[in-house]
Chains A and B, each alone.
Chain A
Amino acid sequence: MPDSGTLSARGPAAVAGSRRVTWLGRLRNIEPVMLLWIALIGVLLFLVAFPLAKLFVVSFEDQRTGAFTLANYAFAYGRERYINALVNSLLLGLASATLAVILAVPMAWAVSRTDMPGKGLTWATVLGAFILPPYLSAIGWILLAGPNSGFVNRFWRDLTGFEAPLFNIFSFEGMTLVIALNSFPLVFIFVKAALDLVSSEMEDAANILGAGTWTAMRRISIPLVMPAILGGFILVFLEAISLFGVPAILGIPARLNVVTTQLWQFFEWPVRVEVAAAYAMPLLMITAGLIAVQKLLLARKGFVSQTGKGGERRLIRLGRWRWALFAWCAGVGLLAVAMPLFVLAQASFAKAWGRGFALDNLTLANYRLLIFEHEMAMQSVWNTVWFSATAATIAVLLALLIAYIVNRRLVPFGDALAFVAMAPFVIPGIVMAIGFYAAYAAPPLALYGTAALIILAFAARFLPIAYANSAAAIRAVHPEMEEAARILGSGRLHAVWRITTPLVRKALLGGWLIVFIVASRELSAAIFLVGPRTRTMAVLLYDMSEAGNFEVLAAFGGILLVITMAFVGIGMKLLGRDFMLRRG
């Protein structure tokens, strides 16, 4: 390049010169939609960045004066009990995530790669576990495995004559089990999606060198999808440390204090949101650390994403072993879905659940009470539906537009925008909620107790789901689709409206439904933000669990599940069976 020197000397000078000249022309020809993009970025910052920044700032503020102080940190970490809660959360997260991986990876491998029978049933299990809220599952497991009264333990005693229970749900192991049984679908979805991309030739190449089916799986297939396994592990870990319902319901009788129940204590009178903020910081650091570790572990090796193309995929014939795998999947399904649902259903139609199945124990009174008599129940159903629907709409619209401007590179720092939109994915929901409380509960916005606060928090919390969904949809629409419209005379927004939106409609509907469904069962974020008139079903269920009336509670859980199933059903009808479980 002999004249590159003269080039670079000429280029910028010419640029600068012409810029001065056409300063006015620039204003004249600016696209007005630019303002819309700027507004969008503002909304994104409002929803995600500001609450987190506020949380950070508040953690250094004196409650009364607002002056800088480290006292909140001193207080938050000044007692052994508080530190123990942190340690408990970490252990619980690690144990739950490990168990979830153990449960899910064989299932994902079986469904993706083998001729195991009953795959439909396995799908149903995963979907069922995905939509069953963890707090309901916890109640179900109290009915199953309460040390003295649980059905399983009573059956065990009758069977063996032993005094000791088979399994005590009020324990660390019990919490681990319930959390893992509820969150293994996250691992399953990730790992199955990755395994679907592994070409059979990868395994063939190992087979030809002398590896059997199991060796090929252990040494080739599973290591190839390690990023997916790690990703799922991290998600389950984050889910576990930010759950509130399960620790409150199972952890208190188990004498286990964790971060979330401790945060709840900081919200007791007098509300110490500053201390709570300081106490929530390690969760953020752990999250950041985990992601760094994941990056480090995966830094150099090639993984499935690089082998995605080419090669056919055949199902591995397992022979008699397929029944062993089927038994594994069925076992998980039994523990995660069938058994808790069965006892909850039984309790919801029982006068006294402890009496078990008997005709004279059957009643519809629990449902009648909720639907016709309970002052708050139907209100909370309505709240849940419209909060979730509004939050889903906000999240999907925002995500669509952000994904659009990022994908089409309409603004500088698009990657940073995408990062902000995805950040809530790895921020524990309870931390988001406290951030929202710190930022918007008090004046000037004074959103505490309003529906807006919950809707905004839900929209922010589930923005990443909507974003991943929208980004995939937008990526699938070639930019030339719009450019073709523009060159023929259609403006930017007109082209988006006429061309892009119709093309991504289905994907958006899928994203909307998923956000709606997860929002409708969200407890951890809601519990800190609800006011008396804005209680959602999840919060009311939690409040009911305080009073221990399991029959009514189970009936209310049944109503929640029926509503969820209705929306899942709509999604399946419109978008196909696995719309919830596809990886966006």
Chain B
Amino acid sequence: MTGLTKRGLLAGAAGIGAAAIIPSRRAAAQDMPAHERELYAAAQREGQLTWYTGQMQAEPSEAIGRAFTERYPGVRVNVVRSTSQVAFQRLSQDMRARVRQCDVFSSVDQSHLTFLKREGHLLEYRPRNAEGMLKVVRDLGDPDGLFQVTYLALYMLGRRTDRVSEAEAPKSWQDIIDPKWKDQLSVGHPGFSGAIGSWAVMMRKMYGVDYLRALERNKPQIGRSAADPVTVLNAGERTIGVGMPSATSLLSISRGNPLALIYPTDGTLMVPAPSGALKNAPNPNAAKLFMEYFTGPIYSQTVRQYFGESLRPEVPAPDGAKALDQFAAMTPTAEEVEKGIPEIREIWRDIFGV
């Protein structure tokens, strides 16, 4: 039904325009490895793919889509960005209604992908480019190669530099339940954000459910996305962000906002965020090509500009971020996430009321 949309017409017009610069396109195709060239040819016939993602914010997600189309002209990416839970909810609704919409699915919640794999919803395809990724990244992916870690999300504490000095700032997750931070905190919601779900699972594991109760007594302002605290801090509504995503925060800092990141001593939450192509993808070749793109260098170069971690050795870490081996990290296992998040959502709602 979208065949006659304005955008379709625009794309058609762009295609005509592109015909004038065919030599450069051919050059781009020539420097592709053979396996990519093959997929590219098949993907061009499909012309587009739909990517549900909850990994990066809207702006970088759009940039990732654009970079893909620049690299592989003629294959358009429909970027459907939302929080991971909402993205998964949409995918669930698709499946329940037996509608094929999504080609590639990306979430910050690893359990989404393990679930999809177990239920046989993932395309059996191991991207060749994955061999060139950092070992730590490679190891976090699916041993069978059905999904890959395409984003390493780091969640930590943040502060308003003009309101809270480095000295008085909390140093750890444990510090923020101190009553002196009452009405100062801002946090996302595990019902909307997979990262906050993972974080809450880890807090329960390390400090018990009482931790969340103590947090509740400090009356944090609850948003939806994990990135909400960035906005809330920028606005001056609160002074301490809990579970702030490093990439979004660094981006915001680079624009002159008075924020600083705090790597908690009891462990920065490192969430390997996986992506996989779907078995019933309406555009299977484009989906495979997108998996190659995810694991190749151009993707890492793109996300780096938005303060996403580089997945490959040849691309340096983003500006202002600590190298991966210079801070304490914690990562929940897939089972912890899959089992823990539904539980923690209920617990959270019972404690916080929403």
Contacts and interface: CB of A to CB of B under 8 A. Distances in A.
Instruction: Check A-B contact in the complex, CB < 8 A.
Output: yes
Interface of A: 81, 84, 146-149, 170, 248, 251-253, 255-257, 261, 265, 267-271, 351-354, 369, 373-376, 378-379, 382, 441-443, 446-452, 531-533, 543-544, 546-550
Given A531-B94, A543-B81, 11 more contacts: A81-B349, A148-B238, A256-B354, A374-B58, A375-B79, A442-B96, A448-B99, A531-B93, A532-B78, A543-B86, A546-B225
Contact of B5 (A146, A382, A544, A548): A382
B50 to A, nearest CB: 6
B225 A268 contact: no
Given A148-B237, A268-B191, A449 B94 contact: yes
B223 A441 contact: no
Nearest to A453: B97
B67 to A, nearest CB: 12
Contacts of A531: 90, 93-94, 99, 101
Contact of B89 (A253, A267, A379): A267
Q: Is the interface of A mostly helix, strand, loop or mixed?
A: loop
Interface residues of B, number: 60
11 contacts: A170-B221, A256-B354, A269-B92, A271-B89, A352-B255, A374-B58, A375-B62, A376-B80, A533-B2, A533-B78, A548-B228
Contacts of A544: 58
A91 to B, nearest CB: 14
B236 interface: yes
A170 B57 CA distance: 25
B52 interface: yes
Contacts of B77: 375
B311 interface: no
Contacts of A543: 81-82, 86
A255 B222 contact: yes
B71 interface: no
Contacts of A533: 2, 50, 78, 101
Interface string B1-30: 110011100000000000000000000000
Contacts of B354: 251-252, 255-257, 261
B58 A547 contact: yes
Given A451-B2, A547-B57, A532 B98 contact: no
Contacts of A270: 92
| Closest 3 pairs (CB-CB, A-B) | A548-B231, A448-B97, A532-B80
A451 B2 CA distance: 8
Given A448-B99, A547-B57, A269 B234 contact: no
Interface string B203-235: 000000000000000000111110110111011
**Residue of B66, B102, B223 ringed by the most chain A CB atoms within 10 A:** B223
B242 to A, nearest CB: 14
B5 A252 contact: no
A548 B349 CA distance: 21
Nearest to A374: B62
Contacts of A170: 221
B100 to A, nearest CB: 9
B192 interface: yes
B232 A373 contact: no
B83 A379 contact: no
Q: Is the interface of B mostly helix, strand, loop or mixed?
A: mixed
A546 B234 contact: no
B222 A148 contact: no
A209 B93 CA distance: 67
A548 B188 CA distance: 11
Contacts of A376: 79-81
Contacts of A149: 235-237
Contacts, number: 151
Interface of B: 1-2, 5-7, 50, 52, 57-59, 62, 65-66, 77-83, 85-86, 88-90, 92-94, 96-99, 101-102, 189, 191-192, 221-225, 227-228, 230-232, 234-238, 255, 257, 345, 349-350, 352-354
A546 to B, nearest CB: 5
A52 to B, nearest CB: 19
A269 B338 CA distance: 12
A379 B238 CA distance: 35
Contacts of A382: 5-7
A347 B254 CA distance: 20
A269 B89 contact: yes
B98 A547 contact: no
A354 B221 contact: no
Contacts of A252: 189, 222-224, 354
Contacts of A450: 1, 99
A303 to B, nearest CB: 43
A81 B350 contact: yes
Nearest to A80: B350
A441 B230 contact: no
A531 B231 CA distance: 27
A374 B58 CA distance: 9
**Residue of A81, A84, A256, A375 ringed by the most chain B CB atoms within 10 A:** A375
Nearest to B238: A148
A369 B88 CA distance: 26
Nearest to B97: A448
A442 B97 contact: yes
Nearest to A440: B97
Given A376-B79, A546-B192, A268 B85 contact: yes
Contacts of B97: 441-443, 446-449
Contacts of A447: 97
Given A270-B92, A373-B62, A376-B80, A255 B232 contact: no
A269 B192 CA distance: 12
Given A267-B89, A382-B7, A449-B99, A549 B224 contact: no
A379 B62 contact: no
B236 A148 contact: yes
Contact of B94 (A251, A378, A448, A451): A448
Contacts of A442: 96-98
